[in-house]
Amino acid sequence: AVLIEKLRVSLSRDEVGVALQPQSNLRSGRHEGFEALARWKVGGAAVPPLELISVAEEAGLITQLSYRLIDKALAAMAGFRRDGLSPGTIAFNVVAAQLQEPDFIERLCAMVEAHGLSPQDIEIEVTENVILDRAAGNIAAALKQLHKKGMSIALDDFGTGYASLTHLKQFPIDILKIDRSFISGILNEKDDEIIVRTIISLAHNLGFEVIAEGVETIDQYKQLSNFGCDLVQGYLLARPMSEEESRAYLDSVR
Ligand code: G
Ligand code: G
Ligand code: NA
Ligand code: MN
């Protein structure tokens, strides 16, 4: 309850920020895009994003908060382009409540256009919990509309939740993000290696791209390359960064 009040104040003062973490193509080695991650500090201490999201959902502030973050990230992307940089795609994490907002798609598209970007620049990340929400019928319809507009849909934290393979057919998924809990063991845990190889082959056979999260070492990167993984994200490339740090990063990889 205290945090809810603090969140209201932070929102009114525009104090909730966004960090950007880069994703890179494993075959070309080129920068591919960023994931936008919420950042909120209370009294100098960072509140974990998952806690922020659950406080915002409880307070009924999740859509308001998310539009702010989306707008900030889109503004950063547009700014990078004006600076002659190629920021690629931007991925947003969304919860079920956002996808069920009647005007979410219209508003998102209007924001994208207002920043001079196109739907092809946008990725929408959903977790298995989002697609398993009780109103899953509406969720599927919303994701289909976003997909039809040209945005990509990524299934986040794949392998850790309760989604069944049926969902891979029912939802318009373009990208599977392998959860970082599997990536940490690919060099020395046979089970993790088998799981990751199997997810990659499943994804490719279904026509999806695969991104590995939480890639921290060059040996993990090489192993994922051997496995035919498409994209990587993790501390090896960079931690989630401020807009200024992200600009410097883009400059360094071009
Ligand atoms: O930022 P961090 O690396 O701690 O992220 C933790 C989790 O919080 C991630 O799973 C991420 O998907 C989620 N998360 C971060 N920012 C947002 C956001 O703006 N909206 C939603 N729904 N989830 C977010
Ligand atoms: O799946 P999700 O959206 O939660 O993924 C983003 C989360 O993963 C954020 O909390 C981010 O800070 C964290 N993260 C990103 N890269 C790495 C990494 O290489 N190692 C670890 N341990 N965490 C990472
Ligand atoms: Na995510
Ligand atoms: Mn994830």
Give the pLDDT score at 17.
Answer: 96
Question: What does the pLDDT read at residue 137?
Answer: 75
- pLDDT beneath 70: ranges in the chain: 136
pLDDT recorded at residue 163:
79
Q: Distance (Å, rounded) from C-alpha 152 to C-alpha 45?
A: 34
Quick one: pLDDT at residue 196?
Answer: 97
pLDDT at res. 132? 87
Query: 2-253 — its CATH code?
Result: 3.20.20.450
CA distance linking residue 182 with residue 176, whole number of Å: 13
Q: Give pLDDT tens digits for 8-41.
A: 999 999 999 999 999 999 999 999 999 999 999 9
Listed in sequence order, the DSSP H helices in the chain are 2-12, 49-58, 62-82, 96-100, 104-114, 128-131, 136-149, 165-170, 180-183, 190-205, 218-226, 243-253
- Show the ligand 2 pocket: residues with CB < 6 angstroms: 21, 37, 93, 156-157, 180, 213-216, 234-235, 240
pTM for the complete prediction? Answer: 0.97
Angle value at C-alpha 77, between 71 and 78, nearest 5 degrees: 90
pLDDT in the model for residue 161: 83
Domain range summary for the chain, segments of one domain joined by +? 2-253
Residue 179 Cα, ligand 2 centroid: separation in angstroms? Answer: 9
- As for the ipTM of the complex, it is 0.96
Pocket of ligand 1 (CB under 6 A): 37-38, 48-50, 53, 66, 69, 93-95, 156, 240
